[in-house]
Amino acid sequence: MAAAVRAFLRAAGLELRGELAHTPERVALAWSEDFLDGYRRDAAATLGPLHAAPRAGLVCVTGLDFHSTCPHHLLPYRGLAHVAYLPAEGPQARVAGFSRLAALVDALAHRLILQETLAEEIAVAVQRGVAGRGAGCILEAEQNCLSCRAETKSRARAVTSAFTGAMVTDRESRRGFRAAVEAGVRGPRGGRR
């Protein structure tokens, strides 16, 4: 990877000295340990052991910071992930730890993936991982290909969502999820974050 970055910088007409002397190694380390480390993670395994919750209703975790990279221009995007699911009903119901949902988001986001696809993959992985009745994911992100390229729109945010199983048809669950997202955006004292 460092050799490829070195070749890229030279192809751009840059000399690898001064501030650029060790850039290829730093870039390779950043990409392998943070931007693409999701390929080395098993998304299903990130949920860890599940916990019994026979009377659990809608489970929501909002405001999870995430970052990813768009496969079209290799530019990063970052924002907030909101995840919800409906556990199975009855004694077989299981829930994942809240921090494990954040780990799942990172495992899938640290790849080259479109935001729309990422939302879908998170929802599917959550529903499968907890064997729930349905799941949903809403992603709000600043896309650097929109905020930093030719048609700069620095305040633009892309919002994508995906729902699976019962969350597709259960309007009340989706309404509760969106209310939880909105409450999280306002913060604990009612002001916008």
Q: Are residues 17 and 31 in the same domain?
A: yes
Parallel, antiparallel, or unpaired for β 76-86 and 59-69?
antiparallel
Q: Are residues 7 and 55 in the same domain?
A: no
- What letter would DSSP give residue 132? -
Question: How far apart (Å, rounded) are the C-alpha atoms in residues 125 and 178?
Answer: 20
Q: Are residues 21 and 48 in the same domain?
A: no
Q: How many domains does the chain have?
A: 2
Query: 């809608």: which residue's tokens?
Result: 58
Question: pLDDT, tens digit, for every residue of 159-188?
Answer: 999 999 999 999 999 999 999 999 876 655
Q: Are residues 161 and 93 in the same domain?
A: yes
What pTM did the predictor assign? Answer: 0.90
Which ranges of the chain would DSSP assign to H, the alpha helix?
A: 2-11, 23-30, 98-109, 115-130, 144-147, 166-169, 171-186
Per-residue confidence (pLDDT) for residue 188, from 0 to 100: 53
Q: Are residues 123 and 60 in the same domain?
A: yes
Percent of the chain whose pLDDT exceeds 70: 93
Q: Are residues 86 and 170 in the same domain?
A: yes
- Whether 191 is covered by a domain: the verdict is no
**Whether the predicted pLDDT of 151 surpasses 60:** yes
Residue 123 structural domain: 37-186
Question: pLDDT, tens digit, for every residue of 89-140?
Answer: 988 899 999 999 999 999 999 999 999 999 999 999 999 999 999 999 999 9
